[in-house]
Chain A
Amino acid sequence: MTPPDEPVRPLPNSDSLLVQRCLDGDKRAFDLLVIKYQRRVERLIGRMVRDVDAVPDIAQETFIRAYRALPQYRGDAQFYTWLYRIAVNTAKKRLMVMKRDPLVFAPDTVDEDGDETSSVWREPRGYSADNETPESVLASREIAQAVNDAMAALPPDLRTAIELRELEGLSYEAIALAQGCPIGTVRSRIFRAREAISARIQPMLEHQTGKRW
């Protein structure tokens, strides 16, 4: 446990870096944030509205509103938590216009990290895989197996680096200390591990586009 007098150093966060660049006028940084969160926001909206066709539209509106409101983002909450609230409000407003009875998901089930607690293994109603089929379950298992196979096939240094990063959430500095190597080596190892895993699962992901994974 961290002693109270020791300052807690937050883990590096690409979101804050990208947000700052957006605030400095770099729209390309916001593109990366959109790419990062688009699917997650669409899943969230998909749980709120029954009209599947409206989901991309509401998601787009969410990002536009977020971009305009970005100067008001103070950074005291995680970016996705902030974005989540905008998405929920945008969806609610749209639903009032549509005058439907749409809420199939309680929007207050969000934890402090901004994750919807009910969404760990579920996709939005009608938007993708709410009506999970045996085929989609099998595909998910195959992908999980492929990821684990890819991890197992990695050289030990690469596997340890990616595990420490993705499973333990360590910073590059901490991983460098753990592995006894420079930070640049850690960065390279994690990159190559991601490339190897990506190469293994990319065909499966392309086959599963729009589905569970």
Chain B
Amino acid sequence: MNETMTQTSPSPAQIEADHWRECLSALVDGELSATEVDGLMAAIERDPQLQAVWARYQTIGPLVVRANAALSPVPAANDPVFWRRWALAASFVAISTVTWGLLEQSAPDSATLAQGQDTVWLSSAAGPMMRDPVLEELLQEHRELGDGGALQVSTGFLRNVTLHTTP
């Protein structure tokens, strides 16, 4: 399969230049055969520009890696800023869970909270999101209560206010 990108047929000199540049590219990756290295060294001696090509190719790899990392939405595992933020968020979730349980007075006992179930990762439009399963259960309970008694209390409260404020 011909994968050549050029439209016009290249000159023999261009073909040779491309061949040695391709050899340099393979040498960057340590994939050049010993026999080709012999020819390449002679070519470099004839054409010092190939040394500049070698230098250029050396920069491509690190640039690709850096560019990929720089524009990646997922933080690097060894990024200390990411882990500090993660720890802060985890602390917030833990404190919120305990506080929520105390306020509702229906939270599971401390032994239940301390059991430490596995963290759940959910995908969202803003990226991966960590959810605490205990918190999820409490939120579910709250939603269920909200559909019934809690909502009725609120409407009753509103009705009472209406009655008291109507002349």
Contacts and interface: CB of A to CB of B under 8 A. Distances in A.
Interface of A: 11-18, 21, 26, 28-29, 31-32, 35-36, 140-141, 143-145, 147-148, 151, 155, 157, 162-163, 165-167, 171-172, 185, 187-192, 194-195, 197-198, 201-202, 205, 213
B3 A14 contact: no
Interface stretch (B27-35, B81-89, B111-119): B27-35
A190 B32 CA distance: 13
Contacts of A197: 60, 63-64
A143 B62 CA distance: 12
A155 to B, nearest CB: 8
Interface string B1-30: 101010000000000000001100111111
B159 to A, nearest CB: 59
B126 to A, nearest CB: 21
B26 to A, nearest CB: 5
A13 B71 contact: no
A205 B54 CA distance: 15
Interface centre among B54, B60, B66 (most CB of A within 10 A): B60
Contacts, number: 110
A21 to B, nearest CB: 7
B41 interface: yes
B57 interface: yes
B166 interface: no
B31 A187 contact: yes
A88 B72 CA distance: 34
B67 interface: yes
> Range of interface residues on chain B?
35 or more
A12 B63 CA distance: 21
6 contacts: A29-B41, A31-B51, A32-B44, A166-B60, A185-B1, A205-B59
A13 B31 CA distance: 8
Contact of B63 (A141, A143, A172): A143
Contacts of A187: 22, 25-26, 31
Contacts of A192: 3, 5
Contacts of A28: 41, 44-45
A12 B65 contact: no
Given A151-B64, A167-B68, A14 B41 contact: no
B37 interface: yes
